Structure 1
């Protein structure tokens, strides 16, 4: 159905939000009030969507996220299916809070553990949860010891823009391979915390200069909206390329192709779990009709 409407034939990665439920209520979380919703994929439903995406769109990788994916009781079954049955690259995006037991179980089937951090020490804990910084560092160290590659995502805000380099140096000592910097989008909880927005966009320019001048032993990937003039517009799903990098499925089954549309209820496509099919539900505000450009990432 996606191909028929958009011309897209290949989708490299599925971002699969297994559930909304989370053990954190981060100030900037794009889910907002949906963190309280019970919607979730069962292992059977997740496996069916993985199979469908592989068969119809050649999907070769999956990123499992939430909510918090490690609170999903059937996470190991989904991970094993993606790796053992489909041979896919498997990533998990997590807060890294008390995940040791499950991480140890799934480590042989995991290609990348990506942990979210929002600064060093109390800066991170003030945005995420008390004690979350040390717990995240412990999980990153455990993953390294288990032979799992690690990465970190950081959403740049007014509170932590000065801690990008200090955090990068901490991560380098833990063997983290990549730091990915996101632009804060005012949806979900972030809409209720405008103080987190960086209003002096010249600060982005200074950050980019610091990154360019500093030699760091890890890869730094930057959302190009972290600049004084924002990112260049790239083509939206409709009328764009025949191949895209990712599509995201939320716990209800809503599918989103642009990161800039995530959290805005602008879904043109839905995965119907009971029928195991993707359907087109166009609206005046969906990401194809608008059209919504995707996020542009680049090396710092």
Structure 2
């Protein structure tokens, strides 16, 4: 899958956002540049799916054009990851071309709104409800923090009631805005163990996918590929064209590869701090 960050711009400034000050940057893919990268990744590297994200993808003026091309011309599975804030009109427009709408939430009610934006919780639920009514499968993501670790199961229950199929739990990485909010970090790893026990014993009607860093002893150390043929599950492209293979490298400017938008090609720009040289571990996900 290609994770394509269409732009940095967002209508939120979430406390944990890995983009940080880049939310103010103007870098973005044009529709033609996005289509060029999607086509290149499919033809040369065999990508089968794309997740469009940002920033906030629904504020990109050409989102509908990119979605339609990815689905109709390239035959890709198309997902969007969004904050779900006031997206009703555009969601209705692209629903026939969408395979999954994934909405980010950080807890129930005021917990979510305190991290994301006032009114965002209800708006996100409204978007999930609309997607269900339009026949679009839905999922959700949550970044586990000190504020919301006790609300994973309650949120899962709310989501299940809306027909959401999957909740994906992320580990908080102290980059971007999160670096300015150390109070969000979970300082007692044993609390991850308790969360895992609760998830294992709960009979939830939706799938829960967990970043394995959300465990008492951390995730297995799987490193980025270093030589020889190797297949990876994902590539993430930021709005500048920088390509990243591991979520743990996102937000750290440790890119070894770049998509040159004007030339329509991928180039290797090695450095002493890139994710290959540093062997940045990949993120490992598993079912709870």
Shorter-chain TM-score above 0.5: yes
User: Is 1:285 aligned to 2:281, yes or no?
Assistant: no
Kindly state the Cα deviation for residue 105 of structure 1 after the two structures are TM-superposed.
0.4
User: Is 1:54 aligned to 2:49, yes or no?
Assistant: no
**C-alpha root-mean-square deviation of aligned residues, in Å?**
0.7
Q: Deviations over 1:209-249 (max 9, x none)?
A: 00000000000000000011100111312247621110000
User: Matches of 1:241 and 1:115 in 2, distance apart?
Assistant: 35
- Report what 2:17 is aligned to: 29
User: Is 1:146 aligned to 2:153, yes or no?
Assistant: no
Aligned residue runs from structure 1 range 1-300, under 5 A = 13-239=1-227, 242-300=230-288
- Report what 1:3 is aligned to: none
The SS at the match of 2:3 is strand
Greater RCO structure (CA 8 Å; 6+ sep): 1
Q: Deviations over 1:272-291 (max 9, x none)?
A: 00000000111100000001
Runs of 4+ aligned structure 1 residues displaced above 6 Å come to none
The SS at the match of 2:233 is strand
Kindly state the Cα deviation for residue 92 of structure 1 after the two structures are TM-superposed.
0.2
User: Matches of 1:107 and 1:240 in 2, distance apart?
Assistant: 40
User: Matches of 2:162 and 2:245 in 1, distance apart?
Assistant: 33
The SS at the match of 1:113 is strand
User: Matches of 1:273 and 1:201 in 2, distance apart?
Assistant: 42
User: Matches of 2:229 and 2:91 in 1, distance apart?
Assistant: 36
The SS at the match of 2:234 is strand
The SS at the match of 1:243 is coil
User: Matches of 2:193 and 2:206 in 1, distance apart?
Assistant: 20
* Contact persistence 1:237–1:257 (CA under 8 A): no
User: Matches of 1:242 and 1:282 in 2, distance apart?
Assistant: 18
* Contact persistence 1:99–1:139 (CA under 8 A): yes
- Taking structure 2 as the reference length, the TM-score comes to 0.99
Structure 1 unaligned residues grouped into runs of 5+: 1-12
Q: Deviations over 1:38-90 (max 9, x none)?
A: 00000000000000001100111000000000000000000000000011100
Q: Structure 1 residues 205 and 39 mapped into 2: Cα distance closer, same or farther (>3 Å)?
A: same
- Taking structure 1 as the reference length, the TM-score comes to 0.95
Kindly state the Cα deviation for residue 169 of structure 1 after the two structures are TM-superposed.
0.2
